[in-house]
């Protein structure tokens, strides 16, 4: 820099800029997701011919020099960067503040005032609140990447769980009930109450998950997935269903469902929280507590379990949400079929953004049809079980090619039979859509964002 020249130094961030002795205040710009912004150190020379911007990110510095209009370009780039980083199209809203407030409210109800006392440390209610807090942060993890408050909360939860010796698994704190007027008896029977309100029967949607697994979503899209581990099938205000898949024997890319967990959430005066779990070779005709129905409320049972083949089949009827679920074992895999009213299916929040029955499996986990052509024997075998060459027929061929086990074809047959029983309109049972069609994956938004920033940088 030239001697004798006055210089102004500014540090740009959310709060504003300072130059020399005087302070210039700019509007406070803060995204709803609370993303932190990398600090910018900008030295502006009073000489109109030169301006230098130094952008500091993760300890690395990159410089930009312009010899025409100086200051507005430096600051304009930062404004564009802030707009892109906080655009709701790129990331959903980070809900960490909501998680924080729910945890504080829960601990206040426990008498802890948001803090932790020695008595509270061993309190099961406090551990439940911590687990709920952790679950809330996991639901909003995708939208909160890079958020300092989010990462601080996650680390704090981990420390508190260890400090107070809370089990990692166990019951979570129930959401605080809102003041509600007493409900009528018909409100615990969804279809009856819906007809009284709307004058017509509700629209029912169907989801089926079976075999490799193959997923028929509520929107009648059909996908084959490679999703090892535990994945949510349904996650809404009333119901949570999770399926666990493991690789099949033989080293192929195929997976099979080996465990299904169903949680019916507590709902006002109709039903308390209830848990059902099925594993390979153990599809029980009862909930985990041994009961075959929920407690009687207002003279009725909202939840019931029955079985046509104990150990391999269970059907659960949830009257208060008008939902029927069928869990069955076919060959060496489990399957699930669901019929549920559209308002129940769509009763989820932005945080509940992973549901295979709603959106299908992630694009990176979708499988195409095996390149090997089906043998005449495989084609004949599946044709004998499934005469209509629909998605169930194609799933049968897929599973035979993937596993080499003729017993695997039974999962597609059983899934079709369940669809016939659960889908109201017979014309909608068969999906005559080619299975395994390559899905065109749109570029991920972070990649688009990076490309846009590079273009802006070069333009400046």
pLDDT(73) > 50: no
The distance of Cα 92 from the centroid of its chain, to the nearest Å, equals 12
Average pLDDT value for residue range 306-310: 92
Q: Give me the pLDDT at residue 350, please.
A: 80
pLDDT(288) > 60: yes
- 431-440 pLDDT, tens per residue? 986 544 433 3
Question: How many beta carbons lie within 10 A of that of residue 331, not counting itself?
Answer: 18
**64-68, 334-338, 386-390: which has the highest mean pLDDT?**
334-338
Question: How many beta carbons lie within 10 A of that of residue 197, not counting itself?
Answer: 11
- 267-277 pLDDT, tens per residue? 877 888 999 99
Q: Give me the pLDDT at residue 111, please.
A: 61
Listed in sequence order, the residues at least 6 apart from 224 whose beta carbon sits closer than 8 Å to its beta carbon are: 212, 213, 214, 215, 366, 367, 368, 369, 395, 398, 435, 436
Work out the pLDDT band at 9, boundaries 50, 70, 90: very low
Domains, the chain, ranges and CATH?
A: 95-164 (no CATH), 203-366 (3.40.1000.10), 376-428 (no CATH)
Q: Are 341 and 323 in contact (CB under 8 A)?
A: yes
Q: How far apart are CA 258 and CA 327, in angstroms?
A: 12
Average pLDDT value for residue range 159-177: 75
Q: How far apart are CA 156 and CA 147, in angstroms?
A: 14
pLDDT(57) > 60: no
Q: Give me the pLDDT at residue 258, please.
A: 95
Q: Which residue has the higher pLDDT, 42 or 314?
A: 314
Q: What percent of the chain has pLDDT over 70?
A: 65
Q: Are 231 and 243 in contact (CB under 8 A)?
A: yes
239: exposed, middle or buried (Cβ count in 10 Å: 0-12, 13-18, 19+): buried
The phi, psi pair for 94, rounded to 5°, reads -75, 125
pLDDT(450) > 60: no
Q: What percent of the chain has pLDDT over 90?
A: 35
Which of 119-123, 157-161, 455-459 comes out lowest in average pLDDT? 455-459
The long-range contacts involving 329-332, CB below 8 angstroms and separated by at least 24 positions, are 329/278, 329/280, 329/281, 329/283, 330/210, 330/211, 330/410, 330/411, 330/413, 330/414, 330/415, 331/405, 331/407, 331/408, 331/409, 331/410, 331/411, 332/248, 332/256, 332/280, 332/405, 332/407, 332/408
pLDDT(81) > 70: no
Q: How far apart are CA 314 and CA 278, in angstroms?
A: 9
Average pLDDT value for residue range 135-155: 86
Q: How far apart are CA 254 and CA 242, in angstroms?
A: 19
Q: Give me the pLDDT at residue 15, please.
A: 36
| The two three-digit tokens of residue 406, written as one number | 């003729």
| The two three-digit tokens of residue 10, written as one number | 């500014």
Question: How many beta carbons lie within 10 A of that of residue 305, not counting itself?
Answer: 20
Its pTM stands at 0.57
pLDDT(38) > 60: no
Q: Give me the pLDDT at residue 95, please.
A: 80
Question: How many beta carbons lie within 10 A of that of residue 179, not counting itself?
Answer: 4
Q: Which residue has the higher pLDDT, 207 or 443?
A: 207
């Amino acid at each position: 820099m030239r001697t004798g020249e006055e210089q102004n130094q500014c540090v740009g961030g959310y709060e504003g800029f300072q130059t020399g002795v005087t302070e210039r205040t700019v509007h406070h710009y803060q995204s709803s997701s609370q993303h932190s912004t990398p600090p910018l150190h900008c030295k502006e020379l009073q000489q109109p011919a030169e301006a230098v911007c130094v952008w500091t990110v993760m300890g690395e510095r990159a410089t930009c020099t312009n010899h025409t209009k100086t200051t507005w370009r430096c600051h304009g780039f930062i404004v564009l960067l802030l707009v892109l980083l906080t655009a709701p199209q790129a990331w959903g809203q980070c809900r960490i503040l909501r998680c924080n407030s729910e945890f504080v409210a829960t601990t206040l109800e426990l008498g802890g005032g948001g803090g932790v006392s020695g008595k509270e440390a061993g309190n099961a209610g406090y551990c439940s609140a911590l687990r709920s807090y952790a679950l809330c942060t996991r639901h909003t993890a995708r939208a909160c990447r890079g958020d300092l408050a989010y990462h601080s909360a996650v680390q704090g939860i981990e420390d508190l769980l260890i400090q107070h010796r809370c089990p990692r698994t166990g019951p979570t704190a129930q959401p605080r009930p809102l003041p509600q007027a007493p409900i009528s008896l018909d409100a615990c029977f969804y279809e009856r109450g819906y007809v009284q309100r709307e004058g017509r029967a509700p629209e029912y949607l169907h989801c089926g998950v079976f075999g490799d697994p193959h997923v028929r979503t509520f929107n009648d899209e059909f996908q084959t997935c490679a999703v090892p581990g535990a994945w949510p099938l349904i996650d809404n205000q009333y119901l949570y269903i999770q399926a666990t898949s493991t690789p099949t024997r033989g080293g192929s890319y195929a997976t099979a469902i080996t465990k299904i967990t169903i949680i019916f959430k507590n709902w006002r005066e109709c039903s308390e929280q209830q848990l059902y779990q099925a594993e390979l070779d153990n599809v029980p005709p009862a909930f985990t507590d041994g009961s075959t129905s929920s407690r009687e409320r207002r003279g009725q049972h909202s939840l019931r379990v029955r079985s046509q083949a104990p150990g391999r089949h269970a059907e659960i009827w949830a009257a208060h949400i008008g939902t029927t679920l069928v869990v069955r074992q076919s060959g060496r895999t489990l399957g699930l079929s669901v019929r549920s009213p559209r308002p129940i299916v769509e009763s989820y929040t932005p945080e509940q953004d992973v549901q295979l029955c709603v959106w299908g499996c992630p694009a990176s986990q979708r499988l195409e049809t095996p390149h090997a052509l089906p043998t005449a024997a495989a084609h004949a075998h599946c044709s004998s079980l499934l005469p209509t060459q629909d998605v169930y027929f194609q799933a049968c061929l897929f599973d035979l090619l993937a596993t080499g086990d003729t017993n695997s074809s039974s999962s597609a047959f059983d899934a079709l039979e369940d669809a016939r029983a659960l889908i109201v309109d017979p014309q909608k049972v068969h999906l005559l859509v080619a299975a395994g069609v390559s899905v065109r994956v749109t570029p991920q938004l972070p990649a688009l964002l990076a490309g846009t920033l590079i273009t802006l940088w070069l333009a400046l």
